Structure 1
Amino acid sequence: MSGSQSGTLLHHELSKQIIGAFYEVYNLLVRGLLEGCYQNALYIELCERGLPVEREVPFDVRYKGRVIGEYRVDLLVERKVIVECKTADTLKGYDESQLLHYPRATGTELGMLMYFGSKPLFRRFVHTNGPAAPPEVDEGDTANSGRLTPTPRESAGQTASFRPAFRC
């Protein structure tokens, strides 16, 4: 990827820091731990890098102003990037669907899926709230350069909102 392309990625510098932290955790921990162990280690690594990060951040899903459900994101970095950690043998479609849903439901524009499997893998999922823009290329999956076409944000009566959570 050329330098001019990298400058156009949403939250490029923040993404680089998150990816660096991901590889640090991946390289220092053994394979086969529970997802929560990697999530906690990534939280520690992000905090040590001076990034404001929150764990297990709940958000309400609303329909016509009424709460119809609650989800939790693994990590929320600078209130800009949702980070989900996975450890299964292979990534499934629902893992990606989750990351497609969370940014759209919360109004957050960037979601990152960090896979602590047999090989390190990360995927970026972008949801922009403005007019249609060119989709961003997934940086971490060289086998499948998945793309996400931005979709408009739903009305305030049908979106989710974050509730305050612990910060480092």
Structure 2
Amino acid sequence: MDIEQLCSIVVDVGFQLHKDIGPGLLESAYETMLAAKLGALGLKIDRQLPIDLTYDGVAIPNAFRLDLLVDDRLVIEIKSTEATLPVHANQVVTYLRLMGLTHGFVMNFGTPTFKDGIRRLLNEPSLFVSSCLRANKFGGAR
């Protein structure tokens, strides 16, 4: 399946989840339900995946955690707040850059409509990671 098909499936499942449940739960509840729904479709799901960084020779274990990594190529950051802030998008773009991935989403289940809470993000080829900063591809413990 190509990345666009994968993105479409993830958006559809997120939309249905928001429609069925609505806003008001903790991020962890939405993360658990979204992961279960996507996994039931046969997609590989990693939750709370720890990512190690090395910066200028200094190892930083568990420098960040991905809420969801779908099929080893799509990052999903789950939120449950009244509004999605620019910092949430910046966070996902940084994750994509550090991991050498291209596609990600911020999914905010706290907004009144799903359309208001979803943001698709791409790792632009013009961005680069300094040669002194590297992330492991898929975290420490798996």
TM-score, structure 1 as length reference: 0.74
**1:127 alignment partner in structure 2:** 123
**1:34 alignment partner in structure 2:** 26
RMSD between aligned residues: 1.8
Aligned partner (choices 133, 137, 142) of residue 158 of structure 1: 133
The 5 A counterparts of 1:55-134 are 55-68=47-60, 70-116=63-109, 117-120=111-114, 121-128=117-124, 132=125
**Structure 1 unaligned residues grouped into runs of 5+:** 1-9, 133-149
> In the TM superposition, what whole-angstrom CA distance separates every residue of 1:125-166 from its partner, at most 9, and x where no partner exists?
1115xxx5xxxxxxxxxxxxxxxxx413443x4121122555
CA contact (8 A) 2:103 2:120 kept: yes
> In the TM superposition, what whole-angstrom CA distance separates every residue of 1:35-54 from its partner, at most 9, and x where no partner exists?
11001100011011111111
Q: Secondary structure at the match of 1:57?
A: strand
Name the CA distance, whole Å, in 1 between partners of 2:14 and 2:56. Answer: 38
**1:44 alignment partner in structure 2:** 36
**Structure 2 unaligned residues grouped into runs of 5+:** none
Deviation at 1:82, TM superposition (A): 0.5
Between the two structures, name the one with larger relative contact order (CA 8 Å, sep ≥ 6). 2
**Comparing both structures, which one devotes a greater share of its residues to helix?**
2
Percent identical across equivalent pairs? 26
Give the number of the structure whose alpha-carbon radius of gyration is greater.
1
Aligned residues: 136
